[in-house]
Amino acid sequence: RSKFVESDADEELLFNIPFTGNVKLKGIIIMGEDDDSHPSEMRLYKNIPQMSFDDTDREPDQTFSLNRDLTGELEYATKISRFSNVYHLSIHISKNFGADTTKVLYIGLRGEWTELRRHEVTICNYEASANPADHRVHQVTPQTHFIS
For 38, the domain range is 5-115
Residue 61 lies in a domain: yes
| 8 pLDDT more than 80 | yes
For residue 108, give the CATH number of its domain: 2.60.120.470
56 φ, ψ to 5°? -75, -5
pLDDT tens per residue across span 31-49: 999 999 999 999 999 999 9
Residue 95 lies in a domain: yes
Cα torsion 11, 16, 22, 23 to 10°: value is -20
Average pLDDT across the chain, whole number = 89
